[in-house]
Amino acid sequence: MFTGIVREVGSVAIVAGGDDGVQLEIEAPEIAPLVEIGGSVAINGVCLTAETVTPGRLTFHAVPETLSRTTLGALTPGEPVNLEPALRAGDAMGGHIVQGHVDGIGTVRSVTAEGEGIRVTVAASADTIRYCVEKGSITVEGVSLTIAELHDDAFGVALIPHTLTETTLSRLAPGQRVNLEVDVLAKYVERLLEPRVPHA
C-alpha cells in the first residue's frame, strides 16, 4: 500500500526489453537503502517488485499486462520518475490510500498558470471519471491530488509549488499520457451498492 506522497524523484538508468516485458533500472539514492529485494515500490504510480537492490539503484521487471495498462513502456533512459516505497507500519499517512494499481491512462488537456502554482486538466475515460468527485482524491503519476473541478470527460487539479518541486508534475504538458488511479474507497462503495441476487 502507498499514500501518493512521493519520496524521491529518481531517474531511469536502463530500459531493456520489448513487448514481452521490460527490465527497468532506476537510480534512487534516497529510497534504495529503504527497499529490500522483493519489496514494493511505486514508479509513477505503478507498483513493481524490486528484483535487485544495489547502492543507489533498484531493478524491476514490468510484464506485458503492466505495459499494456500503464505508461511505463514509454520510459527512456534519463527520464525522471516519481518513486514511493511501500508504506510501513508507523509511517505517516499523508495522502490517501493508494494501491499502485493503475485504473486508466489519462491525457493532459491543458496546463495553465494559477497564482504560484498551475492548474492541470486531464482527459480520462468514462470508466475513470465515474469514480471521481469534486474535492475527492485521485492519483496522477503516483502523486496524491485533490480534484478541483470535474467534467463529463475530464478533471482538473491545482498543483501547489511544493508539489511541483518534489515531483515530476512540473514537466506536464498538453498531450502527455499519465497514469491514473482512482480512490479505492469509491470502488468499494459501488460494489456494496450493487443489487445482489439471493442464492437459491
pLDDT digits (tens, 9 = 90+) for 101-156: 999 999 999 999 999 999 999 999 999 999 999 999 999 999 999 999 999 999 99
Q: Kindly tell me the sign of the dihedral angle through the C-alpha atoms of 12, 13, 16, 22.
A: negative
Domains of the chain: 8-85 (2.40.30.20), 104-190 (2.40.30.20)
Is a pLDDT exceeding 70 seen at residue 199? Answer: no
CB 133 within 8 A of CB 143: no
> At 87, is the pLDDT very low, low, confident or very high (cuts 50, 70, 90)?
confident
* Whole-structure pTM value: 0.92
Helices (DSSP H) in the chain: which residue ranges? Answer: 64-69, 126-129, 161-166, 184-193
Q: Burial of 48 by CB count in 10 Å (0-12 exposed, 13-18 middle, 19+ buried)?
A: buried
Other residues' Cβ atoms within 10 Å of the Cβ of residue 71: 18
Give yes or no for residue 99 having a pLDDT over 80: yes
Alpha helices in 71-196 (DSSP H): 126-129, 161-166, 184-193
